[in-house]
Amino acid sequence: MRSDLPKVLQPLAGRPILQHVIATARSLAPAATYVVYGHGGSRVRDALQGEPVRWVLQPERLGTGHALMQAMPDIPDDHTVLVLYGDVPLISRSTLVQLLALTGPKRLALLTVHLDDPTGYGRIIRRGRGQIRRIVEQNDASKQELRVRECNTGVLAAPARLLRKWLKALRNDNSQREYYLTDVIALAVKDKAEVRPLSAGSAIEVLGVNDKEQLALAEAAYRYRTARELMIAGVTIADPGRLDVRGEFTFGADVFLDVNVVLEGSVKLGNRVRVGPGSVIRNSEIGDDTEVFPHCVIDSAVIGARCNIGPFARFRPSSTLGDGVHIGNFVEVKNSRMGNDSKANHLSYVGDAHVGARVNIGAGTIVANYDGANKHRTVIGDDVHTGSNSVLVAPITVGAGATIGAGSTVTKEVPPAKLTVARARQVTIAEWQRPTKTKK
């Protein structure tokens, strides 16, 4: 990958590649999930230590068969073993369910794929009647075998008792001097066990990610697959190729997502929510009939119904809006609550504040919440109007119905239902002249 980050920790749709594989495995409700890692792989284990898996060290990298041997000692004989790969993130649950259905007490199920260019893959070698005979790795294949287009994906399912027996019989007399898991197929055939193949629905589903180009291909495939599922469920998407869903997304009816929208973490959109182009929504909830205009960033916020947001608005964590709130262009809200039908339409900052209902925050108003060491709260009552370019220096309380004159810097409590002006008196100096530059 030409990266300091291990391959299986490379991000796909905002999560490590391996995490996608683990999530798919968990969706099958297995008795246990094992992750086999090699020397230096402790970084992977540390990064995903919260995952409910059993970590198994492969002390020497002696091949895929040897890797599986490390996990087998604790697996009961009467279980079925499903083998997946940490760098194959797009395999679907439905495919694996079909594969597992093909297994039995003396049956092994193998996932294959037909490729136009099979370079690098092991080839599926069949008998005259079509039964699978063995798998041959590319480095060990003859010229005739190299012409085969049906390839091994490495994904298989088998009864643990027989798999353990076949793994013990593996030999490393091949060009790589490794114990190939693929050799299990020939051993199964020799043991008169039935090998049942299942062809993957598409090559992209079994794509192994080995470089940044393949990572981009996987990202595009994941993006389109997710968009397709959402469209079938009723979401209108302007361009399925330009939507990124990087987490859990729930939604109501008639949701519209414009181009280049990114949804991260846990996102919930109500009925008839519209999200404009270039917006990023992370770990947030947005109520019915709210419209998010272009290029907004909404992070860990709860936004009520019938709100208008943006364009170019930013919500930092722990912000909550009531219903009918308007947050306009270049407005930032951080750790604040704004009541129903309040407005901050232009160029304002609302930080660490409790804002009442029907408040109008004038253009350029700033709630100055930070003294250089500590954050302080501001309370603004219902029906307050602040004039343009006002500064409210926290901690401060602005009484209900108060009006603050434009350009005021307010540092003391503002009484309710009064006009408060706090600015220097305007003075004109008639004799003053603007300095002139010296000619060079």
Looking up tokens 């259905």, which residue turns up?
A: 101
Q: For residue 438, what pLDDT is reported?
A: 84
If asked whether residues 89 and 19 sit together in one domain, one would say yes
Q: For residue 362, what pLDDT is reported?
A: 97
Q: What is the pLDDT of residues 261-282, one digit of tens each?
A: 999 999 999 999 999 999 999 9
If asked whether residues 282 and 350 sit together in one domain, one would say yes
Residue 339 CA to residue 362 CA, distance in Å, equals 16
Q: For residue 128, what pLDDT is reported?
A: 78
Domain closes at, from 206, 224, 252 = 206
- For residue 98, being part of any structural domain is answered with yes
* CATH number for position 353: 2.160.10.10
Q: For residue 424, what pLDDT is reported?
A: 87
Helix (H/G/I), strand (E/B), else coil: 143: helix
If asked whether residues 101 and 178 sit together in one domain, one would say yes
If asked whether residues 181 and 262 sit together in one domain, one would say no
Q: What is the pLDDT of residues 357-384, one digit of tens each?
A: 999 999 999 999 999 999 999 999 999 9
Q: Kindly state the average pLDDT of the residues 209-214.
A: 95
If asked whether residues 39 and 129 sit together in one domain, one would say yes
Q: For residue 402, what pLDDT is reported?
A: 98
- For residue 221, being part of any structural domain is answered with no
Residue 152 CA to residue 47 CA, distance in Å, equals 30
Q: Identify whether the C-beta of residue 366 lies closer than 8 Å to the C-beta of residue 349.
A: yes
- For residue 327, being part of any structural domain is answered with yes
Split at pLDDT 50, 70, 90, the class of 244 is very high
Q: Which domain holds residue 323?
A: 235-420
* pLDDT value at 170 more than 90: yes
For 310, residues 6+ apart whose C-beta sits below 8 A from its C-beta are 276, 279, 292, 293, 294, 295, 296, 327, 328, 329
Q: For residue 384, what pLDDT is reported?
A: 98
262 - beta bridge partners? 244, 280
If asked whether residues 338 and 243 sit together in one domain, one would say yes
Split at pLDDT 50, 70, 90, the class of 27 is very high
- For residue 222, being part of any structural domain is answered with no
- For residue 345, being part of any structural domain is answered with yes
Domain closes at, from 191, 206, 221 = 206
Q: Kindly state the average pLDDT of the residues 184-213.
A: 94
- For residue 40, being part of any structural domain is answered with yes
The total number of structural domains that make up the chain: 2
Q: For residue 176, what pLDDT is reported?
A: 86
Backbone dihedral angles phi then psi of residue 292, each to the nearest 5 degrees: -105, 115
If asked whether residues 28 and 129 sit together in one domain, one would say yes
* CATH number for position 14: 3.90.550.10
Residue among 39, 79, 326, 346 flagged as catalytic: 346
Q: Identify whether the C-beta of residue 97 lies closer than 8 Å to the C-beta of residue 91.
A: no
The answer to whether residue 385 is catalytic is no
If asked whether residues 193 and 239 sit together in one domain, one would say no
The fraction of the chain above a pLDDT of 70, given in percent, is 100
Tallying the residues shown for the chain, one arrives at 440
Q: What is the pLDDT of residues 312-363, one digit of tens each?
A: 999 999 999 999 999 999 999 999 999 999 999 999 999 999 999 999 999 9
If asked whether residues 244 and 199 sit together in one domain, one would say no
Q: For residue 39, what pLDDT is reported?
A: 78
Structure tokens given for 324: 């009918």
Q: What is the pLDDT of residues 278-291, one digit of tens each?
A: 999 999 999 999 99
Q: Kindly state the average pLDDT of the residues 396-420.
A: 97
- For residue 213, being part of any structural domain is answered with no
Query: What pTM value is reported for the model?
Result: 0.89
* pLDDT value at 219 more than 90: yes
**Mean pLDDT, all residues of the chain:** 95
Split at pLDDT 50, 70, 90, the class of 178 is very high
If asked whether residues 305 and 374 sit together in one domain, one would say yes
Q: What is the pLDDT of residues 65-94, one digit of tens each?
A: 999 999 999 999 999 999 999 999 999 999
Higher pLDDT, 33 or 426: 33
- For residue 428, being part of any structural domain is answered with no
Termini Cα distance of the chain: 56
Q: For residue 40, what pLDDT is reported?
A: 79
Split at pLDDT 50, 70, 90, the class of 437 is confident
If asked whether residues 256 and 122 sit together in one domain, one would say no
If asked whether residues 172 and 270 sit together in one domain, one would say no
* pLDDT value at 386 more than 90: yes
